[in-house]
Amino acid sequence: MSEPAARSSDRTVVAIAWAVAAVVIALVVAFIAWLALGDREDASGPAEATATQSAVPEGGAEGEGAAGDEDGTAGEGTESGGATGEADRNATQDGDASSEGGTGAGAADPGATQQSPSPEVEQLLLDLQRRDPDDPMAVGDVDAPVVMIEYADYRCPYCARFHLEIRPELLPLVEDGTLRIEFRDFVIFEETSRLAAVAARAAAEQDRREEFQEAVFALSTEGHGEYGRDELLEIAEEVGVADLEQFEADLEDEELLAAVEADSAEARSVGVSSTPTFLINTQVLQGAYPAERMLEIIEQEQQAALQR
């Protein structure tokens, strides 16, 4: 084959590859958007009296029983199976941080059908896993059969609830090699959240990420936490960040900020619009689920991984 013909053939292959990738990404976006749409439709109907008050911290900023929309907070999470209604499923929508949402979680619609992602979408969800041994925002073996990608905002009350109450119950699976958790920043509450995200990465540079994250999330247990640079410096000192001067300098680090922005861009590119959102291998969960349900899904995905 002549050199011009070879170059033309290469361009054709690249073009086809990009077209296929674009179609698959569009399928993922459509799938996650379908989840969010189903969430809003279900939230607008009558809910069974199965919601638990623990879904929103007592005295928090989230309004009880209000359905969310694009500019506020969703009242129910959505599972990739398409059925809604487990108690404690709440998500904060990408948009106006001042809007208030609710906690109402109704029983599953008897007419709901189980919907699973297509094989192409499943593969793209799996491809989002980084499995990078040097990822400072991840815990767990890189070869764990199940990877949970967590998209979160530090000022999201439901992200706080997951980190402080639910995540600890998953850690035994991290320790035994079953589960890897990859944290991804999804900044939806603008500058304060962005600053917190960079600060968490600065703490990670000094091996204090988990302690720092827990302390910052604790500020949002009763609503969207309000804090600034000085408060984050105080937290860094409290959790044992050794070099506070370096920590403060890292708050201006362009590479750390770029990493935060890249995570947020990734979330939007695959159709994520609320926090917390979890990708557990091929399952998508939107909202703060009970630990028992997350453990069930992890077990299901572990069995499915063994069959691949």
Q: What digits encode the pLDDT tens for the residues 153-199?
A: 999 999 999 999 999 999 999 999 999 999 999 999 999 999 999 99
DSSP state of 58: T
Helix (H, G, I), strand (E, B) or coil at 74: strand
pLDDT surpassing 50 at residue 228 = yes
Positive or negative: CA dihedral 13, 18, 19, 23 = positive
Closest CA to 147 of 276, 273, 278, 25: 278
pLDDT surpassing 60 at residue 27 = yes
Closest CA to 73 of 89, 85, 59: 89
Helix (H, G, I), strand (E, B) or coil at 110: coil
Q: What's the token pair of residue 93? A: 């929508």
Least confident of 38-52, 85-99, 247-261: 38-52
* pLDDT score at 33: 63
Tell me if 156 sits within 8 A of 281, measured CB to CB. no
The Cα-based distances of 227 to 88, 168, 196, 232, 246 in angstroms read: 27, 25, 9, 7, 20
The rounded distance, in Å, linking the Cα atoms of 302 and 183 is 19
Helix (H, G, I), strand (E, B) or coil at 240: coil
The rounded distance, in Å, linking the Cα atoms of 5 and 307 is 42
**What number is the average pLDDT over the span 35-55?**
39
* pLDDT score at 32: 72
Enclosing domain of residue 224: 3-307
pTM of the prediction? Answer: 0.72
Please tell me the total count of domains within the chain: 1
Pairing of strands 146-152, 179-185: parallel
* Cα angle 255, 261, 267; round to 5: 140
Q: What's the token pair of residue 233? A: 């410096």
Per residue in 243-290, pLDDT (tens digit) is: 999 999 999 999 999 999 999 999 999 999 999 999 999 999 999 899
* pLDDT score at 90: 55
Domain of residue 64, CATH code: 3.40.30.10
The Cα-based distances of 29 to 86, 127, 200, 265 in angstroms read: 24, 15, 28, 13
Which residues are CB-contacts of 283 (< 8 A; sequence separation ≥ 6)? 79, 80, 81, 297, 300, 301
